[in-house]
């Protein structure tokens, strides 16, 4: 048997608060989603003014990371580099999803949507960083 860590509600709140703080600091309005290691939603918030569609896209970016174990940017790059067959995969191939990896196992992911793709990913990484740095959002 293998023991795998799991996100707690406290962890998820820390991730979401840090991601939200990072977005606010940049003046960005986004949707933030956190899922568990099975791709199931643990958190979804759409900041005031965030695009309506972002609330559907953010969870799918997170889910893509859990299913693949990779940042969702990997799949966007595949499509952008001409591998259009990647569009048939059961994931959203858009940057902004980042996996949460502990002891080599993907235990969840954060997906962000609402601004430029690289900015979405920056917000997602800020959330994950708070989990590992023990930082609390301002």
Q: Which of 43, 56, 58 is nearest to 98 (CA)?
A: 58
pLDDT, one tens digit per residue, over 29-67 is 999 999 999 999 999 999 999 999 999 999 999 999 999
Task: Assess contact for 109 and 38: CB atoms under 8 A.
Answer: no
Residue 137 scores a pLDDT above 70: no
Domain formed by 9-114, architecture: 2-Layer Sandwich (3.30)
């Amino acid at each position: 048997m293998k023991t795998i860590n799991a996100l707690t509600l406290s962890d998820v709140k820390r991730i979401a608060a840090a991601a939200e703080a990072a977005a606010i600091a940049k003046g960005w309005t986004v949707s933030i989603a956190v899922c568990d290691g099975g791709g199931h939603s643990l958190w979804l918030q759409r900041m005031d003014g965030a695009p309506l569609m972002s609330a559907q896209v953010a969870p799918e970016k997170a889910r893509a990371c859990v299913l693949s174990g990779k940042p969702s940017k990997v799949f966007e790059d595949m499509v952008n580099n001409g591998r259009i067959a990647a569009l048939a995969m059961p994931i959203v191939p858009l940057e902004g999803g980042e996996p949460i990896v502990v002891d080599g196992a993907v235990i969840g992911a954060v997906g962000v949507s609402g601004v430029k793709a690289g900015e979405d990913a920056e917000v997602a990484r800020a959330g994950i960083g708070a989990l590992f740095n023990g930082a609390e959002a301002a």
